[in-house]
Structure 1
Amino acid sequence: MNNKDEIKTIDPRGLEHHEKEKLIFPSIEDLSKGDSLRIVMEFNPVPLVYLLKTRGEFEVFYEKDGPDEWILVVKRIAAEEMKKEKLEALVQKLKSGNISEETKARTKELFQAADAKSIGEMEQKLIKQGIPRETILGNLCDIHLEILRDKLVDQKVEVESPHPVHSFMEEHKVILESLSALKTTLDKLRKAKSFKKFGPGLEKLRDSAHHLVEAESHHQREEESLFTKLEDHDITEPVAVMKSDHVEFRERKQALYQLAYNPKDYDFESFKTRCVELGEYLVEELESHIFKEDNIIYQVALQTLSEKEWEVVKRECDKIGYCCFTPQDQIEKSD
């Protein structure tokens, strides 16, 4: 166990976002009960604090709160030992490569009951059993996210119309419906052997692509109004990640739209391959992006921005304009 003078310190300043994550999260997960970690940041890590407090396993406090650097101290306060027989069963399931929903549920239960040391030992054992590291990270990270999803959703703060966050989240529901329809259409496209066999699926593809492109004003309002206010509060890193996602989404949504409305420019197999590639990316990544915004970014914003700042955000959103699918009660103009 660490004493006060032996707290490990990590300094991810200057690293790219994904490099920061690779340093910060394993270091946190490696903490045993009673151990602490000092994290030095060049910006206020508000989302990280929110996530850690949500998990209920850590004490978190600022040793230094800006303005040039922020030093966060994280102490693990809860940990339990994983049962070996359950671990052995998990090893065999993962080794088979058949990751069923039941296996995910059992693994989720183990994660909720395990400390970081146990999880680390589990990962090492899986590797020694011959399971590729990519398989381990992919499946276990997905399950870990599911655990976090439950806790975040349970603690989500709700606001009413026409608050900007409520508008964003209602638009997200419509976007998710479009992604669900797109996923169904892609399943049919995979089975089709020609444009003729795809038939009415083309019109459904166009409808989904149209709604996704129409979401541009949603992203614009986030970037030019909400995100700028968060940046004013030194919440810059997560905002930069969301903006980067938007760039990727724009490129792929436009490409899918062009395919859907100009199918005869391609032979069917090329059309199908490209549509599936673009569509799968959008379904998976945009769904994940929306979850992060609804349950992390917006929640941090609700805890950070003042009432007057929200009034400014609302006016700016009104000025930019809304999507064709934004519910009418969400676009009530501010005075």
Structure 2
Amino acid sequence: MKELNLKPLGMEERHNKIFAAWKELGEGDVLRIINDHDPKPLRYMFQAEFNDAFAWEYKQQGPAQWIVEIKKLKREAPLTPEQKAKREELKQILKKLHEARPEELDKVKKGAERYFREVAPKELAMAEQELIQEGTTRTEMKRLCDVHLEVMKSGLGAKARRLRLPASHPISICKDEHKIIKRNLRRLKALLGKLKSAGSFEKAKKQIDTLKELSHFFLETEKHHEREEKALFPRLEAHGVVEPPQIFKEDHVEFMAKKKVLSEIAMAQGKKSFKEFLDTVGPVIEFLTQNLKDHIYKEDNILYPMAYETLEKSEWAGVRKKFDAIGYCCFAPADFVKEKKRRH
């Protein structure tokens, strides 16, 4: 590891020292930078200059000093003319799905289905990223994702199942958590029907207790999203995969707002009529049970396989270390629990 303390240096000298030191590094080497402010502009410079050939990790974030470690990765070869043509073809298919009128959509879907069977999750993500960079809004892209996921479901599910990883791997941990979250989403959906059947607070005491329990559970699952955003997404971004994590982050913000509303409704029940309570809680439950389930499907079948294709094998240990530091919610990996018991 090469270390540079930039604090005593002027701006021009800092720039020269950083890029000279980077040039000397071999693949897999790390440049450790100590600075007196957030070196985020340097990250943008590296992204422009080196694209996906580095991994960026903060070790200290202020207030007196900032420390970042930048690992030199293998630089991916530029796309061949054939790969560029395939990327453009994929983008055109995505555009057709996006622009199709309702009466045309089934026909366009059938035309796209055969092509999508062979598309790798990372290639799909990079095509989506280029479309966003070319002007498609993230809101439009999220709607488009729902359409092409419907087309790709059978093929994506098969590819995701072929991804065999040890239980201690960050992707396995996230997917195991997803199983528990989906189980509780099913409970939440069934609970809404039971609340409607109860007809009054007096007859719904048991269901209200379950609602409180589930609302607390879903607030606790924010640890899952926090680990993705702080441990996994920065690694993807360091490899040039920027837009897909942003779309997932926007989903996380929306889910957190709905989870808070669900908790507030559960705790404040009895302050309104039972009908008003149902009219308020019903749409929130319906939103979470549908949209969070779809979000999990996208993570299991696109985000995680894409991340596995993108990150270097050596990077996953760092992701796991950050997972452990942030902590777990509804599920903790066996090796983490065992180590925690050993220490205590």
Instruction: Give the TM-score range, shorter chain.
Output: 0.5 to 0.7
Residues 45-194 of structure 1 correspond to what in structure 2 (within 5 A)?
62=79, 73-75=87-89, 112=113, 145-156=149-160, 157-194=163-200
- Change in 2 beyond 3 A, CA 1:108/1:199: farther
1:297-320: per-residue Cα shift (whole Å, max 9, x none)? 110110111122100000011100
Q: 1:310 to 1:245 in 2, by over 3 A?
A: same
Measured at CA, do residues 114 and 322 of structure 1 come closer, stay the same or move farther in structure 2, by a change above 3 Å? closer
Query: Quick one: distance in 2 between partners of 1:213 and 1:191?
Result: 26
Kindly state the Cα deviation for residue 261 of structure 1 after the two structures are TM-superposed: 2.2
Give the corresponding residue for 2:229: 223
Q: Distance in 2 between matches of 1:312 and 1:62?
A: 29
Q: Which residue of 2 aligns with 1:315?
A: 321
Match of 1:203 among 199, 203, 209: 209
* Aligned 8 A contact 1:217 1:321 in 2: yes
SS in 2 for 1:265: coil
| Matches of 1:320 and 1:249, distance apart in 2 | 20
The percentage of counterpart residues that share the same residue type is 36
Change (3 A) 1:327 1:181: farther
Does residue 1:274 correspond to 2:292, yes or no?
A: no
- What TM-score, normalized by structure 1, do the two folds share? 0.58
1:231-250 map, 5 Å: 231-250=237-256
Point out where structure 2 has 5 or more consecutive residues left out of the alignment: 1-47, 53-77, 91-102, 117-143
Asked whether 1:326 is paired with 2:332, we answer yes
3-state SS of 1:62 partner: coil
Counterpart of 2:292 in structure 1 is 286
Q: Verify the 8 A CA contact 1:186 1:279 in the aligned structure 2.
A: yes
Q: Taking structure 1 as reference, are residues 235 and 331 closer, same or farther at Cα in structure 2, changes over 3 Å only?
A: farther
Shift of the 270–71 alpha-carbon distance from structure 1 to 2, 3 Å rule, reads: farther
1:16-35 pair list within 5 angstroms: none
**Per-residue deviation, 1:113:** 7.1
RMSD: 3.7
The 10-residue stretch of structure 1 (212-221 or 320-329) with the greater mean CA deviation from structure 2: 320-329
Are the counterparts in 1 of residues 262 and 284 from structure 2 also a CA contact under 8 Å? yes
Deviations 1:79-126 (A, max 9, x none): xxxxxxxxxxxx8xx9xxxxxxxxx9xx988975799xxxxxxxxxxx
Give per-residue Cα distances to partners, 1:137-164, cap 9 Å, x unaligned: xxx9978634411110101112121101
1:225 shift after superposition: 0.3
Return the alpha-carbon distance in structure 2 between the equivalents of residues 147 and 332 of structure 1. Answer: 42
Separation in structure 1 between the aligned mates of residue 86 and residue 237 of structure 2, nearest angstrom: 19
Equivalenced residues, count: 226
Where structure 1 has 5 or more consecutive residues not aligned to the other structure, the ranges are 1-41, 46-60, 65-69, 77-90, 95-103, 116-139
Q: TM-score, normalised by structure 2?
A: 0.57
Partner of 1:297: 303
- Equivalent residue, structure 2, for 1:12: none
The 8 Å contact of residues 63 and 73 in structure 1, kept in 2 or not, is answered as no
Aligned partner of 1:258 in structure 2 is 264
The whole-number CA distance in structure 2 between the counterparts of 1:112 and 1:259 is: 42
User: Partners of 1:194 and 1:73 in 2: how far apart?
Assistant: 57
Go from structure 1 to structure 2 and tell me whether the alpha carbon gap of 1:108 and 1:187 turns closer, same or farther (over 3 Å shift). Answer: farther
